[in-house]
Structure 1
Amino acid sequence: MSESSGSPEPSITIQTQAAKRTADAAGLKPGMRPAKSVKRRALPLYIKRLPARFGPDDVLYLEKKGALTIPAAPLRDELLRCYAEFVHPYMPLLNMHELVRTIDRSDGTDPISLLLFQAIMFAGIATVDMRYLKAAGYNSRRDARREYFQKTRLLYDFDIEVDRISLIQSLLLMTYWYETPDDQKDSHHWMGIAVSLSHTIGLHRNPAKSQSMDLAKQRLWKRMWWSTYMRDRLVALGMRRPTRIKDADFDVPMLSLEDFEEDVLSDEPSCMPADCTYLRDAEKQRKLAVMCIAKVKLCMCISNVLSVQYSVLHNNHGIAGEEGITRTTMMLVKKLDPELTEVQACDKQLQEWKEALEDEAKYVEPTWQDVDSGNEDVVLNRSLLHMIYYAALSALHRPQVLPSTAMPPRETQAPQLEASRKAVRLAASGITSIASALYNLDLVRYLPTTGITTLLPAIIIHLLDIKAPEEATRKASLQGFCQCMQIMARLRDIYAAADYSTAFLEAAIRKAEITLPQRSPELKEPRSVITSAQALMEAGRRLTSGRQSSSNALTPPPETRVKPSGETGNNGTENPSQLTDDDLARQLSSYLASTPPDSDHQPTTNHESGPQFFESGGISVPVADFEPDFDSMINLDEAGETWLLEDGAYAAMQGGESSGYLMDTDWMMKGIKEGGLEMSAV
């Protein structure tokens, strides 16, 4: 085992079963070491010892799998910093100052659960500088995240931890993992276990009513409960799955600033790097606490949105698919005819939430000065808060704009329909603008998986608006699509869920056979069908004034680049403005066969102010044999019922935190084919 503490640590002796039998047979006295014993290194003193019930074989197996390996001090400390700055503020599960003090003391006092420690390391990897992972021997961020999640999951499966507080904290962090569509233990699964354990220990009850709980513990329990609540709502929003927590089943009071830690880390040497300003700045902690409370209140609005617009009822319950496997996953599907008064009430609640925000939580476009002053965590959390708000607004109004064919809109709904169109466009524009600002400041790499959840509804609306008759709307939607896809490409360096989201967007575009409208009735232009995201991004580039080459654009592998013919660019490829549809199709084939770069984007030093236009970037799908079949996947029957999914296609997006937006694909393609957002509900 590797350890990170600089102080000498006692060694432990783990006997194999054969060595134990030899010792018994030889009659060795206690304390005498047989010749076949295996000498190992102990866990650091700040880590809780393994349970006594663990036998030698268990310990050796866990060690072989790396579950007992603690990162070396440089990586450990940086992962702690990333967790403190980019995970803890929006999910304050822990007493961070106590955690840091325990590691700094390293004297065995109040040791940390090994399961929880590995879960913290896993959560921090998503945002740590790639240089630390390279130094530790990892080729990519995904490899590191996968290894640390496997460590955490193995420890959980071995029941290494019996303390339910530590279990709940670990499980909530495990909900941030998603890799393959066929993994049945997805975010919703881990969320369910966390909620179940929370109810078991009474985390859902008002801790102030406890006679034996001190004030510090009451505050921790409140933060843990509301962290569980927020995660439950965001998983339900993204996956379109039923919430695990019912609003009537708890009585925990709303969070207040007093429930957050009031402590400042000293300037003495610590496991927390000196550049971690969050734990050393009381004012920053207060600002982020204000944003966290605002997020809790927003998630309560999201709960109402889900109950008004979506139902767990569906028409394929218990249908057997391939090899006789029965699909039993419950999904939230759009209600056929939600009450307009309920929709309006939810909309009012969202607007009141935004108007009631304290100054610290109100959105302000960030600048390089914010980044250079070490306020990335404040910028990120404020931006994410408002991206979630716009995603909730879109979730509320999108079903109004994209109704099922079974329930055509009534004439009395016309004003609400127009209001919903404006709302979804506002939401798409807001998400794109905020995410673009993060991209220009190189902060997209700090977004959690919730960032994907917020991007997808914006992309859906942008795709619908590409059929708009007005050139200004068409330009804005195409540029917005380009921006969102560029941001999604960055998230693919970190999260597998972004791969599958991109794959389905590609498949949807191919299926929809988009044809852009003429710029004007007098101007007759060739009207070729657009069948890829890359081609759509090229079309967006042509319709905008920006034609400069972008340094951020992704390129296909050298051996698959289009050969020059006529005018060429600097890289030997044809001028993008002169690429034919066949050229774009060939490029797309190379993109679909390639993978994202292993190394992360390096922080840019170009501190240009203002929004930047995104050139089209290559959209690559790393799963070569992944070919969603939308004909078998979507059933646009006349009854307007929920579409049916074949097992393979259904599984391709099932499990990821943003998989629920697949439910909108049929509406999106129907809207595109029938004339875009303006005609989709007519």
Structure 2
Amino acid sequence: MSLPWFIRPLHRGINTDDLGFLLSKGAVSLPSQALQLALVRAYVDSIYPHIPVIDLSHFLECITATDHVAPRVSLLLYQSILAAGTACVKIEDLKEAGFQTRKSARKIFLEKVKVSLLLGVMNLEDGPANVTKLLYDFNCELDQQTVIQVLLLMSLAYEEPVGRRSSFYWLDAAISQAFSSKLHHDPKMLGLALPIQTLRIRRRLWWCCYNLDRLVSLGTGRTSMISENDFNVSMPDISDFEPFRHVGSDAAAHSTVCSCNGSDQENLDLALLFTEQTRLCRLLDTNGFLAPSSCCTWQGVDWAIEGPPNTNWPFQRLEHHLSEWYSALPLRARYRRIMQNELGINGNAAVALNRSFLHLAFNMAMLNAYQSRLGLSPEHDIGTSYETEACELLMNHAAGRISLIMESIEAHRLGLCLHPGAMHFAMSASEVHLKRPDKLDTVAQTKHDQCARVIELMQEAYFVPSYSRHFRPSPSSPSASHCSQVERERFSEKNGTLPESISESALWEFDISGSTTSKAIATCNMADVEGLFPGRQITERWMGDPL
């Protein structure tokens, strides 16, 4: 067994039979050096910015040092980094190494990690909390922090919708281990005096667990594992991200595995985007999305704000906080289309992609808010037809913005570098587009296609649910095609003529670049809107910002 010098030796307690099993499964073998470099580069440029679970400078120091005395890297962590890189590495690099497809390469690399994680548990059904316990029993990896890093990277695999290959399974295991390691507590409250580097990585690991938990819930509707009352870790800030440094190696060595090459501005931008993503995720409720805990207070948002005693208040409060978040975004975190000059060395566009994903998540939150407000069936009465159509207008605005963000990503063929959770956002937006009235089929199909092209590209690396199941309009849903006429008739019977300010053409025929949608809202009688939505915060910047 020959491994690079920078790989930490396996634990001495591993027995011969177990080692033989690992060898037979290829768990301790590595690809050619050329493919290793390509996979590490893909990970550093495209995966690490989404979930910064490792100390990047320390990792690069380990694998590029030439004196053979630098700290070493866990084999399990290194294998998981290589596996993560297969999602976005150039297909030419994989084919040169003998792989026919991206999925076949991913399957082999992911199996190397899973063999170590799941050996000895094939017949147990005790759930994800016991995955790493059995890993310890196998003596393959004894460092709990490394285990959490590996599990978080495995949660991005998206191999199957359910079971031990699903992202849910690995994410649940990572969160369980994070609680076991007390990452959910402020070290000062535990009386721990830890080095600054250790503190940084602990805090980032916790917030990576938290953000992934919320983003999965946002995209799938799955109940979050982490409750707002479960932790006391303060919000992340830029100081939690170590400055990029060339320790024990020069810039030329780092450039072989990292396109950013230590750009201070790029690292500051990525840190800013991560903190803004966390602020957004803190707004998303763990159970039902629209009902945050009435007694939970955290930095910048007080969920204990008193509101009117009606069922609309959770929705109004969430809408208010989302609008405030959007309006307060720093300039460098505001959305703009990906431009050619933003593509760095070898097409790296980490900042542009993370900025795009941040706004995909925000628009998905807005879409969910208005979609939830409409209810789950036509029998669910949310108020007047005016209110129904206003919700549909804003819901379609959010879906349209998701589509055009996806179009910008697809134009530069960056879909494989996008956070895999974006697939769920694209599917939700596409479903909304396909529920629009028959007379606008062309518009709806165009916007659907913008999302579908990115989904099809991501399908090279990830499991994508059936289109027919997710994109076909449901007869029981309050889609525009049947709500519009029925609700208008009901409104007319109760209240007279529907206000001209929201005509059917204004409701559906809007240009997402800003003008027509903004005019439709601007021409509304705002007193009427305020009467329907007490405390409504229709964000002019969101409605009018060009894409």
Q: Which runs of 5+ in 2 are unaligned?
A: 120-134, 294-309, 491-547
Pick from 94, 119, 133: which aligns with 1:133? Answer: 94
**1:595-610 aligned within 5 A:** none
Is this contact kept in 2: 1:363–1:382, CA < 8 A? Answer: yes
One-letter amino acid of the counterpart of residue 443, structure 1: L
Q: 1:239: Cα distance to partner?
A: 2.9
Q: 1:237: Cα distance to partner?
A: 2.0
- Are 1:285 and 2:246 matched, yes or no? no
Pick from 419, 436, 446: which aligns with 1:448? Answer: 419
Match in the other structure for 2:108: 147
Pick from 107, 122, 144: which aligns with 2:83? Answer: 122
Match in the other structure for 1:659: none
**1:299-338 aligned within 5 A:** 299-303=281-285, 306-308=288-290
Is this contact kept in 1: 2:151–2:173, CA < 8 A? Answer: yes
One-letter amino acid of the counterpart of residue 482, structure 2: E
Pick from 492, 497, 514: which aligns with 2:459? Answer: 492
Is this contact kept in 2: 1:237–1:306, CA < 8 A? Answer: no
Q: 1:456: Cα distance to partner?
A: 1.2
**1:44-55 aligned within 5 A:** 44-55=4-15
One-letter amino acid of the counterpart of residue 378, structure 1: V
Q: 1:103: Cα distance to partner?
A: 1.4
Is this contact kept in 2: 1:223–1:255, CA < 8 A? Answer: yes
- Are 1:408 and 2:355 matched, yes or no? no
Pick from 147, 172, 177: which aligns with 1:167? Answer: 147
CA–CA distance in structure 2, aligned partners of residues 142 and 53 of structure 1: 34
- Larger-gyration structure (1/2): 1
Pick from 471, 477, 482: which aligns with 2:449? Answer: 482
Is this contact kept in 2: 1:115–1:161, CA < 8 A? Answer: yes
CA–CA distance in structure 2, aligned partners of residues 43 and 163 of structure 1: 20
SS in structure 2 at match of 1:249: coil
Is this contact kept in 2: 1:141–1:493, CA < 8 A? Answer: yes
Q: 1:406: Cα distance to partner?
A: 4.7
**1:652-667 aligned within 5 A:** 665=474, 667=476
Q: 1:375: Cα distance to partner?
A: 5.2
**1:84-95 aligned within 5 A:** 84-95=44-55
Pick from 177, 197, 202: which aligns with 2:182? Answer: 202
Q: 1:50: Cα distance to partner?
A: 1.4
One-letter amino acid of the counterpart of residue 143, structure 1: S
- Are 1:81 and 2:45 matched, yes or no? no
CA–CA distance in structure 2, aligned partners of residues 681 and 101 of structure 1: 69
- Are 1:381 and 2:348 matched, yes or no? no
Pick from 144, 148, 170: which aligns with 1:190? Answer: 170
CA–CA distance in structure 2, aligned partners of residues 148 and 216 of structure 1: 29
SS in structure 1 at match of 2:98: coil
State the Cα deviation string for residues 127-165 of structure 1 (Å, max 9, x = none). 101111111111111111111111111111242112110
State the Cα deviation string for residues 330-365 of structure 1 (Å, max 9, x = none). xxxxxxxx9211101111111111111111111111
**1:633-648 aligned within 5 A:** none
Is this contact kept in 1: 2:227–2:286, CA < 8 A? Answer: no
CA–CA distance in structure 2, aligned partners of residues 304 and 421 of structure 1: 24
- Are 1:349 and 2:321 matched, yes or no? yes
Is this contact kept in 1: 2:22–2:28, CA < 8 A? Answer: yes
Change over 3 Å in CA distance of 1:285–1:678 after alignment to 2: farther
- Are 1:398 and 2:378 matched, yes or no? no
Is this contact kept in 2: 1:465–1:676, CA < 8 A? Answer: no
CA–CA distance in structure 1, aligned partners of residues 475 and 265 of structure 2: 47
Change over 3 Å in CA distance of 1:68–1:466 after alignment to 2: farther
TM (normalized to structure 2)? 0.77
SS in structure 2 at match of 1:425: helix
Is this contact kept in 2: 1:421–1:677, CA < 8 A? Answer: no
State the Cα deviation string for residues 21-61 of structure 1 (Å, max 9, x = none). xxxxxxxxxxxxxxxxxxxx332221121122222222122
CA–CA distance in structure 1, aligned partners of residues 353 and 452 of structure 2: 19
CA–CA distance in structure 1, aligned partners of residues 486 and 336 of structure 2: 31
One-letter amino acid of the counterpart of residue 133, structure 1: L
Q: 1:196: Cα distance to partner?
A: 1.4
CA–CA distance in structure 2, aligned partners of residues 677 and 82 of structure 1: 51
State the Cα deviation string for residues 466-487 of structure 1 (Å, max 9, x = none). 43x5x5xx44222112222222
One-letter amino acid of the counterpart of residue 177, structure 2: L
Pick from 173, 186, 201: which aligns with 1:220? Answer: 201
Is this contact kept in 2: 1:234–1:450, CA < 8 A? Answer: yes
Change over 3 Å in CA distance of 1:127–1:678 after alignment to 2: farther
CA–CA distance in structure 1, aligned partners of residues 485 and 60 of structure 2: 52
Change over 3 Å in CA distance of 1:676–1:279 after alignment to 2: farther
Q: Which runs of 5+ in 1 are unaligned?
A: 1-40, 312-337, 513-664
Match in the other structure for 1:254: 235
Match in the other structure for 2:31: 71
Is this contact kept in 2: 1:47–1:108, CA < 8 A? Answer: no
State the Cα deviation string for residues 83-134 of structure 1 (Å, max 9, x = none). 1121111211110010111112373643211111111111111110111111
Q: 1:270: Cα distance to partner?
A: 6.1
- Are 1:104 and 2:64 matched, yes or no? yes
SS in structure 2 at match of 1:438: helix
Change over 3 Å in CA distance of 1:375–1:49 after alignment to 2: closer
Match in the other structure for 2:407: 436
Is this contact kept in 2: 1:164–1:197, CA < 8 A? Answer: yes
Is this contact kept in 1: 2:259–2:344, CA < 8 A? Answer: no
CA–CA distance in structure 2, aligned partners of residues 681 and 60 of structure 1: 73
Aligned residue-pair number:
452
One-letter amino acid of the counterpart of residue 96, structure 1: L
Q: 1:180: Cα distance to partner?
A: 3.6
CA–CA distance in structure 2, aligned partners of residues 297 and 347 of structure 1: 15
Change over 3 Å in CA distance of 1:192–1:304 after alignment to 2: closer
Change over 3 Å in CA distance of 1:667–1:114 after alignment to 2: farther
Q: 1:455: Cα distance to partner?
A: 0.2
The list of structure 1 runs, each at least 4 consecutive aligned residues, that deviate by more than 6 angstroms after superposition, is: none
CA–CA distance in structure 1, aligned partners of residues 79 and 285 of structure 2: 31
SS in structure 2 at match of 1:142: helix
CA–CA distance in structure 2, aligned partners of residues 137 and 285 of structure 1: 35
Is this contact kept in 2: 1:401–1:420, CA < 8 A? Answer: yes
Q: 1:229: Cα distance to partner?
A: 0.4
Q: 1:678: Cα distance to partner?
A: 8.4
Pick from 277, 280, 284: which aligns with 1:298? Answer: 280
CA–CA distance in structure 1, aligned partners of residues 368 and 412 of structure 2: 28
Match in the other structure for 2:542: none
One-letter amino acid of the counterpart of residue 124, structure 1: G
CA–CA distance in structure 2, aligned partners of residues 495 and 86 of structure 1: 15
SS in structure 2 at match of 1:280: coil
Q: 1:214: Cα distance to partner?
A: 1.6
Change over 3 Å in CA distance of 1:269–1:361 after alignment to 2: closer
Change over 3 Å in CA distance of 1:147–1:458 after alignment to 2: same
One-letter amino acid of the counterpart of residue 346, structure 1: L
Match in the other structure for 1:459: 430
One-letter amino acid of the counterpart of residue 334, structure 2: K
Q: 1:677: Cα distance to partner?
A: 9.8
Change over 3 Å in CA distance of 1:491–1:667 after alignment to 2: farther
Aligned identity (percent) is 25
Match in the other structure for 2:303: none
Match in the other structure for 1:361: 333
State the Cα deviation string for residues 554-593 of structure 1 (Å, max 9, x = none). xxxxxxxxxxxxxxxxxxxxxxxxxxxxxxxxxxxxxxxx
One-letter amino acid of the counterpart of residue 237, structure 1: L
